Amino acid sequence: MKRWKYYLFCVGVMTLTLLFAYWGSLAVTVISEELPFVRKHCIVIDPGHGGEDGGATSCTGRMESEYNLAISKKLDDLLHLLGYQTRMTRTSDVSIYTTGDTIARKKISDLKERVRIVNETPGAVFISIHQNQFSDSRYSGAQVFYAKTDGSKELGQKLQSELVTALNPGSNRKSKPISGVYLMENIQCTGVLIECGFLSNPREEAKLRNAEYQKKLCCVIGATLSQQLSNT
């Protein structure tokens, strides 16, 4: 069985267990009140960029923000099935700035708003979804960057390991601490930034805009996240 199918199987078993153990209308109550890990953690999903800030441009001319949002929405759906509370920093192709009369000032406002959303959420765990890009099209593979906050390094290393095993076998990419990124340096909870792949690599870009591959990616993230949080 392929690794991603194993993750999907695990997700399915966990979901069915919840539904059969707490039948009917009780399922909603149990998911929100009875399961300890649900009460403790709210997953804040951040689709990077948005609106006039499209991020990187893929080799097919699509903007990074489009990929980020599509993957984030699928991850949000999956985590709901697993019983998690979630919150997304944006749910459409918009920038979430509240002030600013120039692009630069709007970007600063946008980042501050994302930080506010994360830090005001009780029990937050932060997942920021991005795509990589480089001038040399041969580079590929997902890479996870982690914040300085408690639990971030452990989550980042585990996600990196599972992403390589399931989706990028043979990759030598390692998780790394992140610096110089305002959002990641100002959150107060466990947090990682996932560069899901390289939009500059034609083969990988085709995967990243494929809905089925996006689901595989989310299965790996969701299963790994659930495993890590069950131990905290």
Cα–Cα dist 28/212, whole Å: 28
Cα separations (Å) of 2 from 59, 143, 216? 29, 21, 11
pTM for the whole structure: 0.85
Task: Please list the pLDDT of the chain residue by residue as tens digits (232 residues).
Answer: 566 666 665 665 455 444 444 334 433 443 444 344 445 899 999 999 999 999 999 999 999 999 999 999 999 998 988 889 999 999 999 999 999 989 899 999 999 999 999 999 999 999 999 999 999 999 999 999 999 999 999 999 999 999 999 999 989 999 999 999 999 999 999 999 999 999 999 999 999 999 999 999 998 999 899 888 887 6
Cα–Cα dist 95/50, whole Å: 5
Q: Scan for tokens 């452990």, then name that residue.
A: 154
**What are the structural domains, with CATH classification, of the chain?**
3-229 (3.40.630.40)
Question: SS3 breakdown of the chain: % helix, strand, coil, rounded to 5?
Answer: 50, 15, 35
* Residue from 138, 132, 139, 157 nearest 147 by CA: 157
